[in-house]
């Protein structure tokens, strides 16, 4: 399963809600890249410079973190969040899945107005170790400034600056139409201004597409 949408469209929040309900795993590409940045790797250094500019990383560099993450979840159900972001990446993903024998069954496109996203990101906080995302208006933490699961402090991402967000949105719209056309046969679109508005429609679509997907009976690991 893939979740597509602009930066700040709610992919992280909706992924978390799906993980809380179903026995599935998630691959959050942005978090994988932030892990590389935190470790100071060659890829992390390139990613940090590129993300601060609001641009997209080269396809091959992103694939360096995506491919091993997918291979590690062989024979599991997973959600891919944050990749692909353009048609050329989708083609690379198709080729990789063909080699690994995995199958892409469901592509969800989140449609949220740009101005809503810009306002939302101003109030967005993240738990950096896990990638869990909160919004002070729509999805606040139970304790201000603290992660619900670990109690560790939350922070804002450097690339959540409004000027950078606008540039990221411009890049997103430039690449999005060809990407959606690539996935036309498997694509389902969901419109809304908040994740809570989109959630019932997304969860219903997942239930219909995967009627045998097991429900989670125990809390997942942080």
Catalytic residue IDs? 11, 85, 124, 157, 168
Q: Which residues pair with 25 in a beta bridge?
A: 78
E runs forming strands in 40-86: 78-81
Closest alpha carbon to 166 in 219, 212, 118, 133: 118
Instruction: Give the H or E element holding residue 68.
Output: helix 59-71
Question: From CA 16, how far away is CA 76, in angstroms rounded?
Answer: 17
Name the token pair of 3. 């979740």
Classified as helix, coil or strand, 55 is coil
- The verdict on whether omega for the bond into residue 84 sits within 30 degrees of 0, i.e. cis, is yes
CB neighbourhood size of 158 (10 A) = 11
**Computed from CA positions of residues 67, 73, 76, 82, in that sequence, does the dihedral angle turn out positive or negative?**
negative
Question: From CA 203, how far away is CA 189, in angstroms rounded?
Answer: 13
């Amino acid at each position: 399963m893939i979740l597509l949408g602009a930066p700040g469209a709610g992919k992280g929040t909706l992924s978390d809600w799906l993980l809380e309900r179903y026995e599935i795993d998630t691959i959050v590409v942005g978090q994988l890249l932030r892990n590389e940045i935190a470790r100071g790797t060659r890829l992390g250094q390139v990613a940090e410079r590129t993300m601060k500019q609001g641009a997209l990383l080269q396809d091959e560099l992103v694939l360096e973190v995506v491919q091993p993450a997918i291979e590690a979840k062989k024979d599991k159900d997973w959600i891919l969040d944050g990749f692909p972001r353009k048609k050329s990446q989708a083609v690379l993903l198709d080729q990789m899945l063909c080699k690994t024998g995995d199958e892409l069954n469901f592509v969800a496109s989140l449609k949220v107005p740009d101005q809503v996203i810009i306002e939302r990101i101003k109030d967005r906080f993240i738990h950096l170790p896990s990638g869990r995302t909160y919004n002070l208006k729509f999805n606040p933490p139970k304790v201000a400034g603290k992660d619900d699961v670990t109690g560790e402090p939350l922070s804002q991402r450097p690339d959540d600056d409004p000027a950078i967000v606008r540039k990221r949105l411009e890049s997103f719209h430039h690449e999005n139409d060809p990407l959606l056309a690539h996935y036309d046969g498997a694509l389902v679109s969901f419109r809304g201004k908040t994740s809570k508005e989109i959630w019932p429609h997304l969860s219903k679509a997942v239930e219909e597409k995967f009627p045998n997907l097991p429900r989670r009976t125990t809390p997942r690991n942080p």
